Amino acid sequence: MNAILTIAGRELRAYFATPVATVFIVIFLVLQGALTFNLGQFFDRGIADLNPFFTFIPWVFLLLIPAITMRLWAEERRLGTIELLLTLPITQTQAVLGKFLAAWAFCGIALLLTFPFVIAVNILGNPDNGVIASGYLGSLLIAGAFLSVGAAMSALTRNQVIAFVLAVAVCFLFAVASNPIVNDFLSHTAPALGEFTRRLAITDRFADFTRGLISLRDVIYFATFIGFFLFLNTVLVDQRKAD
Amino acid sequence: MATRAADPAGPLIDIEGLTKRFGSFTAVDDVTFQVRRGEVLGFLGPNGAGKSTTMRMLAGFMIPSAGTARILDHDVQTDSVAARRVLGFLPEGAPTYPEMTVEGFLRFCAKIRGYTGAELADRVDHALGLTTLRGVRLQPVETLSKGFKRRVGLAQALLHDPPVLVLDEPTDGLDPNQKHEVRGLIAQMAPNKAIVISTHILEEVDAVCTRAIIIAGGRIVADETPQALSERHASGKLEDVFRALTMEGAV
């Protein structure tokens, strides 16, 4: 556990030692603000909740999270530090978990910085803060899910652009799996597959959280999802570390 | 770590039949050797001969296609964390995290090795002293020259005073004074450790190594003392022996 936290701490400090952290957080807040207030009609709706805010979270994350994860392993390989890191007395799983936790904590910090939305909506009306808290929990979980995908893709290639594009593509598949367009198409052509993809869809699970529903099934879904991709990440690091 | 107690004279590094294939290309071909305490083994060979690949397998970074490598009786594949605990490894090119300060980087490595508090500070300070890096301890690694970066990598390998040191080109990029210092450091540590250094600077072999292995085309073509090696050629020069052995290996 100590080694995991040491790796996570180093990694997290590295975000803030470079402009990565600032750029990410500023763009995230600007995008979320613009989308919530303009497209989401935050004021015009006349309802005191953060639904417009949460609606856009998966899509903003879809774009920005692969930008964090693309460097996660690719950068280590470019610098050659992967050879240093993986010859220290740690297991590969510890390295994978440490890096993932750092990225997750970083997303948590970005989410925390959206607190003015919560304050605003509380000043303007009487929102259900329980629903808001559950929405934030869902946001954190969807961030974790996308991060685990992105981290695995970063271990797959030493090219950061390829890592980014692959991560966006895979996250996109999970995000649109329950979309009516995809579902109608699949239920006509392959009904069994249609049901399967609907269950895999990440956005439906997230929608439950934004309605204030925290179900054990959804939590298990996210835990399994993240666990699977972290396992894949460990396997990929092991196979490709020395390429 | 106590496993050696039963056989104090046994080899600290034990490599047997180590082979690495990349597709149809065999980078390291059935390499076998042992290194005992007190030995400084110079690992020589032209570029691409398989030196770094062998060292990477020894450090447990690269998975061998065949054969085994053991450090103090710990197999680097099946018991890798224990093996790496007693190993100080300087990877090729001495990679470090560029945005970290020298001290920050060494503290990170020390923490991972399980040191805390005052002991951690002592270890880092001692390593900084050995590699004469105290003057730049608060400088980010990316602002340092090549020679300093190399010494940061070396400091990292010496942090935990490991019984086994594997250094891939430890003096590459150093100026003559720094080279002299590093060789002095290696010679000073030699009696208590098993040390493997790869190099293509032949004078280094004469200066610090008690034994030299020449590898060409992935195979060991010579394994003896530097002196015996240089006597192989009429000129008595290691350089001529090296050329004779590695050129014929390439053909």
Residue A7 token pair: 């790796």
A18: contact with B, CB 8 A cutoff: yes
What's the gap in Å between the CA of A236 and the closest CA on chain B?
Answer: 13
**CA distance linking residue B214 with residue B241, whole number of Å:** 10
Chain region(s) in chain B for CATH 3.40.50.300: 2-86+163-250
List the domain range (segments joined by +) for residue A151: 2-240
Interface test with chain B among A4, A81, A87, A240, by most B beta carbons within 10 Å: A87
CATH says B2-86+163-250 is which class? alpha beta
Say whether A20 sits in a helix, a strand or coil. helix
Residue pLDDT tens, chain A, 243 long: 789 999 999 999 999 988 889 999 999 999 998 888 877 777 777 777 888 889 899 999 999 999 999 989 988 988 999 999 999 999 999 999 999 999 999 999 999 999 998 998 899 888 889 999 999 999 999 999 999 999 999 999 888 999 999 999 999 988 887 777 777 777 777 777 777 777 778 888 888 898 888 999 999 999 999 999 999 999 999 888 777
Q: Chain A: residue nearest B62 by CA?
A: A242
- Chain B residue closest in CA terms to A92: B81
Share of chain B residues as helix, strand and coil, in percent rounded to the nearest 5? 40, 25, 35
Q: What is the pLDDT of residue B249?
A: 47
Q: Is A3 on the interface with B (CB under 8 A)?
A: yes
In Å, how far is A2's CA from the nearest CA of chain B?
8
The total number of structural domains that make up chain A: 1
Handedness of CA B189, B193, B199, B201 (dihedral sign): positive
What residues of chain A lie within 8 A of the CB of B82, using their CB? 89
Q: How far is CA B75 from CA B45, B61, B65, B68, B72, in A?
A: 26, 13, 15, 7, 8
Q: Which two tokens mark B243? A: 């050329």
pLDDT of residue B168: 92
Report the predicted TM-score, pTM, of the whole model to 2 decimal places.
Answer: 0.89
Name residues of chain B where pLDDT drops below 70: 1-9, 248-251
SS (H, E, C) A75-128: HHHHHCHHHHHCCCCCCHHHHHHHHHHHHHHHHHHHHHCCHHHHHHHHHHCCCC
Provide the pLDDT for residue A188. 74
Cα separation values, B126 from B11, B152, B177, Å: 27, 13, 21
Q: Which of B62, B80, B82 is nearest residue A242 as measured by Cβ atoms?
A: B62
Which residues, numbered 203 to 242 in chain A, qualify as contacts with chain B under a Cβ-Cβ cut-off of 8 Å? 238, 241-242
Question: What is the structure's pLDDT at B250?
Answer: 47
Task: Output the pLDDT for position A213.
Answer: 87
Tens-place pLDDT, residues A69-125 = 998 998 898 899 999 999 999 999 999 999 999 999 999 999 999 999 899 889 988
What pLDDT is attached to residue A70? 92
Task: Tell me the C-alpha distance between B221 and B41, whole Å.
Answer: 15
Please state the ipTM of this predicted complex.
Answer: 0.89
Which of A6, A86, A87 comes nearest B111 by C-beta? A6
A38 secondary structure, DSSP code: I
- Pick from A14, A17, A87: which is nearest to B91 by CB? A87
